[in-house]
Chains A and B, each alone.
Chain A
Amino acid sequence: MDIIITGLLLGGTYALIAFGLNLQYGVARIMNLANGEMIVLGALAAFWIFVADAISPILTMLIVAPLSFFGNWLIYRFLLRPLVRRAKNQGQLEVDSILATFGMAFALVGIMVSIHGEYYTYSYLAEPFEILGETFALNRIVAFCFAVLIGAALWLWLYFTRTGMAVRAVSVSTEASGLVGINVPQLSAIAFALGGAVTTMGGTLISTFITLDASVGVVFTMKALIIIIMGGVGDIRGAIVAALILGLVETAVARLIDPGLTLAAAYAIFVLILLFRPQGLFGRKPS
Chain B
Amino acid sequence: MTSGDVKQLVWGAILLALAACVPLVANGYWMSIALTIAMFTVLSTSWALFSGPTHYISLATAAFFGVGGFLVGTGMSDYNTDYWTMVVIASLAGTVLAFLVGLATLRLSGVYFVIFTLGLAEMIRTLVSWIQNNFTGSRGLYVLTDLGEADIYIHLVLVAALVYLAGWWIARSRLGFAMRIIGNDEMVARHVGINTAFSKVILFTFSGFVASLVGALIAPRYTYIEPNGVFSPELSFIVVIMALLGGTGRLWGPIVGVIPFALLQEYINANYSNYSTLVLGIAFLVIVYFLPHGVLGRLEETWAKRRRSTW
Contacts and interface: CB of A to CB of B under 8 A. Distances in A.
Interface string A80-123: 00110000000110111011101111111111011000000000
Nearest to B233: A218
Given A110-B278, A264-B127, 10 more contacts: A31-B114, A96-B288, A103-B288, A106-B280, A111-B278, A222-B115, A226-B115, A229-B112, A267-B119, A274-B108
B288 A261 contact: no
Interface string A219-232: 10110011001000
B123, B186, B240, B288, most chain A CB atoms within 10 A = B288
Given A33-B118, A91-B55, A271-B104, A263 B123 contact: yes
Q: How would you classify the secondary structure of chain B's contact residues: helix, strand, loop or mixed? A: helix
Contacts of A221: 118
A50 to B, nearest CB: 25
A66 interface: no
A275 B106 CA distance: 11
Interface in A209-251: 215, 218-219, 221-222, 225-226, 229
B284 interface: yes
Contacts of B281: 102-110
B288 A274 contact: no
Contact of A103 (B105, B108, B112, B284): B284
Interface of A: 31, 33, 82-83, 91-92, 94-96, 98-100, 102-111, 113-114, 215, 218-219, 221-222, 225-226, 229, 258, 260-261, 263-264, 266-267, 270-271, 274-275, 278
22 contacts: A91-B110, A98-B114, A99-B287, A100-B288, A100-B289, A102-B284, A104-B285, A110-B275, A110-B277, A111-B278, A218-B118, A218-B119, A218-B233, A226-B115, A260-B130, A260-B133, A261-B127, A263-B126, A264-B123, A267-B119, A274-B108, A274-B112
A219 B278 CA distance: 18
A234 to B, nearest CB: 13
B126 A222 contact: no
A95 B57 contact: yes
Interface string B124-156: 001101100110000000000000000000000
